[in-house]
Amino acid sequence: MGKSFLIPDNLAGYIDGAWLRESAVLAELRLETAKLEKAGMQISADQGQFMAFLVKSLGVRRILEVGVFTGYSSTVMALALPEDGHITACDISEEFTSIARRYWDMAGVAAKVDLKLGPAVETLDGLLADGNAGTYDFAFIDADKPNYLAYYERVLSLLKVGGVVAIDNVLWDGKVADRTVLDEQTIALRQLNEHIHHDERVDLCLVPVGDGVTLARKRG
């Protein structure tokens, strides 16, 4: 995804020029991904910088990612982790994640990333069955929208108390606010937003970066 629909055109260039610090390897990954038909699935550079900032500020060591694609978010977060940090990265696509693997190598973070290929609901259930509940500091949900609620519930179990989940695309280009839009993805996002709003297990906020990111922090 390029410029956020939340940023006025006349500000976008200034913001990029004045704040962005995209490393060479991440810039190369963005260029390579731009050639793909599904390039728009990639998070923006400013969102990546925001997530790296969160990882460092929260002292995150263990990350769970649902939706790797070509690896931008996992690479930017892995670079922000300490040496002993770790990411469990879930995706269903061998094709997309083969690009991610190359960039994890190039960025020198491959040892921090454990790729789990397969439907993410099954992967998360497997992590729970293997005794990983309450062990992750941070999670990023950015995969197929109809499964977002299923991911959220499992991720919440996998997070430590005080752990944070970031959920991508919660504004869905503004479509969540347009009640005439009734496709499966928009409905799923609307339902998830409502679910989290009333979920007393978490503190929450909306960050208007990219396509809208919900941050939810697991309460004790």
Q: Are strands 136-141 and 62-66 parallel, antiparallel or unpaired?
A: parallel
> Distances from the Cα of 8 to the Cαs of 3, 14, 39, 105, 210, in angstroms?
9, 11, 22, 36, 12
Q: Choose, by CB under 5 A, the member of 73, 168, 170, 176 that binds Ca ion.
A: 168
Q: Considering only residues 106 through 165, tell me which ones interact with Ca ion, judged by CB under 5 A.
A: 142
Q: Choose, by CB under 5 A, the member of 169, 186, 193, 214 that binds Ca ion.
A: 169
CB 116 within 8 A of CB 88: yes
Which of ligand SAM, Ca ion, none binds 22 (CB below 5-8 Å, type-dependent)? none
Say whether residue 41 binds ligand SAM (CB under 6 A): yes
Say whether residue 125 binds ligand SAM (CB under 6 A): no
Residue 24, classed as helix, strand or coil, is helix
Q: Choose, by CB under 6 A, the member of 72, 136, 138, 172 that binds ligand SAM.
A: 72
29 C-beta neighbours (distance < 10 Å), count = 25
Say whether residue 51 binds ligand SAM (CB under 6 A): no
CB 72 within 8 A of CB 29: yes
191 C-beta neighbours (distance < 10 Å), count = 14
Whole-number Å distance between alpha carbons of 36 and 31: 10
Say whether residue 73 binds ligand SAM (CB under 6 A): yes
| Cβ distance to ligand SAM smaller for residue 137 or 211 | 211
Say whether residue 211 binds ligand SAM (CB under 6 A): no
Q: Measured from the CB of residue 12, what is the shortest distance to ligand SAM in angstroms?
A: 19
Positions in the binding site for ligand SAM (CB under 6 A)? 41-43, 67-70, 72-73, 90-93, 96, 119-120, 142-144, 147
